[in-house]
């Protein structure tokens, strides 16, 4: 018999927490999880899943715009934001139910309330109940970071954007990361007038510069107004609209202002000070390679640790934690060559080193590119070209990175990422027969 109520108590039922709970339970552990909001966390409830569905909805506007070239006549077509929003939220409900079923089918006890840490082996629930656990896992994810300026309470974040009662006719987006670029692209495609305010002269830091430049060119051609090297000084209400002051020109009038300036680890108010858990300057929980904090009985996974803020990474961390602590299989996560994508229109994706990173580390590199107009774009009025590039070590021929922008780039990149992870050479791609006609064939025809 255990000296504790549970072998494992998880705070946060997002992707990482649910995976850790399920795997630990499958190893025979008695597990409980507390979630103060909804099961599924950022990705399922207010992140990548509903966002991708909005992307699909907004992409249809582009398809509809040149349906006549495909031979289709569509009369009286109109867009209903409420219909799309309601469908997306209904699917979020469905997914939350599936996550709940996963927990219950593995006999994980669920507390639908906030939990805080009272001691190395003690958790206090919002109801006042205190429970004990041999191991505590923190998987509370991240939260939108909102800069301080007068009127920031009039703005929304990515948490609220899915629940807007009506589509804004005009939208100001502050930020230069993937969240800002994706929502700017979504609403632009749906017909909203979009302005992006970014405090630096660069967006999407960490992605290949040439690919980002192509994205910016296309986005501006599609009508998104980019205002670089400035930031919001204040927002004030003017009747039914908002006035966005940047200090450099006349204020921008907008129906909504979306703040997308990054996310911070959601570690406040968890009682970490009660057990001496060390935090980084940005509030991230410090952990070792096995996800263990400075308190021996407490671990953390996912965005609250601020390592790589991606759902699949949180899932792998949660799985590795459960295997290490409860499965007798101590293992770590390899963070090299993690593929990522930005679901703009068109989307961009990349894996491995950018050209700048490769030249800095390797010196001698070769860059192979394909700059082409996808066949699908022949039907569109937008003369947009795709761009694929491969960065190769000049000495060994090993592929150091692959980056692309164009229709379905994330779908293509996922398979290409396997090749980069496996350490394949450019010759392996050259030796592969092209699948024609396809966009993916460009990867084996790069010159």
pLDDT tens-digit map of 260-308:
999 999 999 999 999 999 999 999 999 999 999 999 999 999 999 989 9
Map 138-186 to HEC letters: ECCCEEECCCCCCCHHHCECCCCHHHCCCCCCEEEEECCCHHHHHHHHH
Hey, what CATH class is 340-444 in?
A: alpha beta
Has residue 155 got a pLDDT over 80?
Answer: yes
Q: What is the band of 363 on the pLDDT scale with cuts at 50, 70, 90?
A: confident
CA distance readout (Å), 298 to 50, 334, 402: 32, 22, 38
Has residue 249 got a pLDDT over 80?
Answer: no
pLDDT of the residue at 306: 80
Provide the CATH number for the domain formed by 152-261 in this structure: 3.50.50.60
pLDDT of the residue at 218: 97
Domain boundary assignment for the chain: 6-144+264-326, 152-261, 340-444
CA angle 215, 389, 362 (to 5 degrees): 115
Beta bridge partners of 31: 8
Q: Is the dihedral of CA 418, 420, 425, 429 positive or negative?
A: positive
pLDDT digits (tens, 9 = 90+) for 365-421: 999 999 999 998 888 887 899 999 999 999 999 999 999 999 999 999 999 999 999
Provide the CATH number for the domain formed by 6-144+264-326 in this structure: 3.50.50.60
Q: What is the band of 76 on the pLDDT scale with cuts at 50, 70, 90?
A: confident
* Global pTM exceeds 0.85: yes
Q: How far apart are CA 34 and CA 111, in angstroms?
A: 5
Which is nearest to 254 in space by CA: 155, 117, 150, 394? 155
pLDDT of the residue at 381: 81
| Contacts with 436 (C-beta within 8 Å, 6 or more apart), sequence order | none
pLDDT of the residue at 1: 52
Catalytic residues: 436
Common-topology check for domains 152-261 and 340-444: no
CA distance readout (Å), 113 to 1, 8, 119, 125, 444: 27, 17, 18, 7, 52
């Amino acid at each position: 018999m255990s000296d504790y109520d549970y072998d494992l108590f998880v705070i946060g039922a997002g992707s990482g927490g649910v995976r850790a709970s399920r795997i630990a339970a499958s190893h025979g552990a008695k597990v409980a999880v507390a979630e103060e909001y909804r099961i599924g966390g950022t990705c399922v409830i207010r992140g990548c899943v509903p966002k991708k569905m909005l992307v699909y909805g907004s992409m249809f506007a582009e398809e509809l715009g040149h349906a006549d070239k495909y031979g289709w006549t569509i009369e009286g077509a109109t867009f209903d934001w409420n219909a799309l929003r309601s469908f997306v939220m209904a699917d979020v409900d469905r997914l939350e139910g599936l996550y709940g079923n996963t927990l219950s089918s593995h006999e994980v006890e669920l507390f639908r309330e906030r939990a805080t840490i009272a001691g190395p082996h003690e958790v206090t629930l919002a109801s006042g109940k205190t429970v004990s656990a041999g191991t505590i896992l923190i998987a509370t994810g991240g939260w939108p970071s909102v800069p301080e300026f007068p009127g920031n309470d009039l703005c929304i974040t990515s948490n609220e954007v899915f629940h807007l009662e009506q589509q804004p006719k005009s939208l100001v987006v502050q930020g230069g990361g993937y969240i800002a670029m994706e929502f700017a692209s979504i609403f632009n495609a749906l017909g909203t007038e979009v302005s992006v305010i970014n405090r630096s002269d660069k967006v999407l830091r960490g992605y290949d510069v040439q690919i980002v430049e192509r994205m910016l060119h296309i986005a501006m051609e599609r009508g998104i107004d980019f205002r670089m090297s400035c930031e919001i000084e204040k927002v004030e209400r003017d009747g039914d609209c908002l006035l966005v002051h940047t200090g450099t020109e006349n204020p921008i009038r907008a129906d909504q202002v979306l703040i997308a300036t990054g996310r911070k680890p959601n570690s406040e108010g968890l009682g970490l000070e009660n057990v001496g858990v060390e935090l980084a300057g940005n509030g991230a929980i410090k952990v070792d390679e096995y996800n263990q904090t400075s308190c021996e009985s407490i671990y953390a996974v996912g965005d609250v640790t601020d390592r790589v803020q991606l759902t699949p990474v949180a899932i792998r961390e949660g799985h590795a934690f459960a295997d290490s602590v409860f499965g007798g299989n101590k293992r770590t996560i390899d963070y090299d060559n993690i593929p990522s994508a930005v679901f703009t229109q068109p989307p961009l994706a990349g894996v491995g080193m950018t050209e700048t990173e490769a030249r800095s580390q390797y010196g001698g590199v070769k860059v192979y590119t394909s700059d082409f107009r996808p066949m699908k774009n022949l039907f569109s009025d937008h003369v947009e070209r795709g761009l694929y590039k491969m960065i190769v070590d000049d000495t060994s021929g090993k592929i150091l990175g692959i980056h692309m922008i164009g229709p379905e780039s994330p779908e293509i990149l996922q398979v290409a990422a396997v090749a980069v992870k496996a350490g394949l050479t450019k010759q392996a791609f050259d030796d592969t027969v092209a699948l024609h006609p396809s966009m993916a064939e460009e990867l084996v025809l790069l010159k």
